[in-house]
Structure 1
Amino acid sequence: MVSFIIRFWTYLILLIPSILCTLFVLYHLLFDRTLRLALNNHAIIVLLIICLICQITIYPWMLQFYWLDDFWERSLFFCTLWQFLDWGLYVTQTVLFAWATIERHILIFHHKWMATKFNRFFIHYLPLTLLLLYCLLFYIILDFFPACENFYLEGDMICVFVCAFYVYDLYMYETIAHQLIPVFTIVIFSIILLLRTFFFKWRMRQPIQWRKYRKLAIQVLSISLIYLLFSFPFALITLLYLLGWTYSVYGAVLPFANFCSYLSILLFPFVTLASLPTLRRRVKNMLPPYRKFVRAIAARTNMNNRVHIR
């Protein structure tokens, strides 16, 4: 069990830098034409927007809840909104990134499929849009327009229980289709991408093309690592519970896995920044010590060149 005080300080320390990093990366991805038009960045942009929405809503609410030690009266609508933003957007982000890991195989190994506008629309834009709309509509209907009455849970952080989950078939569909399949898709396709990339490097004899494809692979693999470390445990214990784990064991492990799953959104923008070489260079150039170091190296290089010329 992770105490409220540990959760509070962990999330608080990460939250403000995470928001600033998200704004920085989003600004450059949206206003730099080259980065904005790159197909591999479109899913990342959507995921960062989802991150930002969560960072300025549910995380401050969580900090408030932990600070008050669960003595916080809230309305049923507020609790339902919290449920939608917390779980609905978390699932949406996971589903979209699962598609991004699949699409990265196309962008690297079958890039000719994207040669025409028609193909780009049906292979790239349409799946991303449909998955986004599907997830949002699914949870809007489930949370705000249920066929039954949601339950208010006064002492819980997310103070509502969605009554639709009493329907066993719906619960199983949501668990398998929205939780297990996306997370395991990320893990499996990331491993396959890593293996295919190494094989591609061995077979390919064009260093420039290889560097380009390596960057595309590194971007999605580094982000996949977040899901592997912080989201995969939550999905794994859910799967084990469905396969027969007792509720006592499941309930003992779940709080820690839940705590870790919230870290994925806070760490996502940092890993995204680190995986984009263009933005990494811009950050370095913004740091005064780094600029002084570069100028010193440049001056020393020029001096050495003059000596050699003489």
Structure 2
Amino acid sequence: MIVMLIIGLMIELVDIPFHLIFLHLGIVQPSIPFICVLWWFMDLGLYNGFTIIMAWSSFHRYLFIFHDRIFLPGKKRFLFHYLPLIILLLYILIFYIYVIIFPPCKNTFDYTLPVCNDYPCYLDDVVLGIWDSVVNGILPTFIICIFSVAILIRVYHQKRRLVNQRNQWRQQRKMMIQLISSSVLYLMPNVPLSLLILAHLCGLPEDVGVDPQLYFDYLCYFVCCIHSQKRFNNILTQHNLFFV
């Protein structure tokens, strides 16, 4: 979770200010390749990296809830807890540094579109484009879905068996709620996006779904408001009292 928070913070510190500047000026500023490459690396590279880590977190949490013995101190703990995360982080950095910062082709930047058109040249490569879309984007999203549902099913079937082990049941329920909550918030905008990308790979024209895709892109920023409703209500109440 700490790794995901760090990655998410890095993305938002770049993505949100750049979007606000573009929406205010109608153009990417400063209009230089470095800004586009940085924005692509955060918006595509680290965002897909976040998806991959989220998928691993879903699988990891499944193991931690139902096979917690493998995380006891020792070689197994390093093998199942730390090593996969290290490998995934190295893969994310190496892959996206290669395809975005040192691409095997020539990038073109459109400063009149959000995220400089958000289309690095490697996406036109048959192997790299499909690999990134499927392995780094679509597959992790469905892994999150699968293990979230699997945890719900396993917990439901084990609830009766653990009815006399209240402490263990409470611990499992707490971890399950944490995972399902974060997974649902993430999947709300990303499942439609993944299905749209999959449809484009299967032959759907690229111009179909452009507007919905833009809406779902911006919807990602609003999922945090679900748990902030009470705070917003308090702010609005204080605001109304101030002006009354």
Q: Which of 53, 58, 63 is the equivalent residue of 2:10?
A: 53
* Paired position in structure 1 for 2:38: 81
Larger radius of gyration: 1
SS at match of 1:152: coil
* Paired position in structure 1 for 2:168: 209
Q: Which of 11, 17, 20 is the equivalent residue of 1:63?
A: 20
Q: Which of 138, 141, 161 is the equivalent residue of 2:95?
A: 138
CA shift, 1:263, in A, is 4.1
Q: Tell me which amino acid in the other structure corresponds to 1:133.
A: L
Tell me the alpha carbon deviations over residues 40-77 of structure 1, each in whole angstroms, 9 at most, x when there is no partner: xxxx1011111111222221111111111226342101
CA shift, 1:237, in A, is 1.1
* Paired position in structure 1 for 2:106: 149
SS at match of 1:184: helix
Percent of residue pairs identical: 34
CA shift, 1:88, in A, is 0.8
* Paired position in structure 2 for 1:125: 82
Matches within 5 A, 1:10-49: 44-49=1-6
Cα gap change, 1:174 to 1:114, in 2 (>3 Å):
same
Matches within 5 A, 1:209-288: 209-263=168-222, 267=224
Query: In the comparison of the two structures, how many residue pairs are matched?
Result: 226
CA shift, 1:252, in A, is 3.8
| Rounded Cα–Cα distance in structure 2 between residues aligned with 1:245 and 1:190 | 29
Cα gap change, 1:244 to 1:167, in 2 (>3 Å):
closer
SS at match of 2:160: helix
Say whether the 8 Å CA contact 1:234–1:261 is kept in structure 2: no
- Give RMSD over aligned pairs: 2.0
Cα gap change, 1:263 to 1:91, in 2 (>3 Å):
farther
SS at match of 2:94: helix
Q: Identify which range, 248-257 or 204-213, moves more after superposition.
A: 248-257
Cα gap change, 1:92 to 1:60, in 2 (>3 Å):
same
Say whether the 8 Å CA contact 1:62–1:157 is kept in structure 2: yes
Q: Tell me which amino acid in the other structure corresponds to 2:3.
A: V
* Paired position in structure 2 for 1:185: 143
| Rounded Cα–Cα distance in structure 2 between residues aligned with 1:57 and 1:188 | 31
CA shift, 1:159, in A, is 1.7
| Rounded Cα–Cα distance in structure 1 between residues aligned with 2:48 and 2:93 | 9
Bigger relative contact order, structure 1 or 2 (CA pairs below 8 A, ≥6 apart): 1
TM, length-normalised to structure 1: 0.69
Cα gap change, 1:263 to 1:138, in 2 (>3 Å):
farther
Tell me the alpha carbon deviations over residues 111-137 of structure 1, each in whole angstroms, 9 at most, x when there is no partner: 011123211100010101111111111
Say whether the 8 Å CA contact 1:241–1:250 is kept in structure 2: no
SS at match of 1:240: helix
CA shift, 1:103, in A, is 0.8
Tell me the alpha carbon deviations over residues 190-214 of structure 1, each in whole angstroms, 9 at most, x when there is no partner: 0111111111112223001110111
Gaps of 5+ in 1: 1-43, 274-310
SS at match of 2:209: helix
* Paired position in structure 1 for 2:235: none
Say whether the 8 Å CA contact 1:231–1:260 is kept in structure 2: no
Aligned: 1:199 with 2:199? no
| Rounded Cα–Cα distance in structure 2 between residues aligned with 1:71 and 1:153 | 9
* Paired position in structure 2 for 1:94: 51
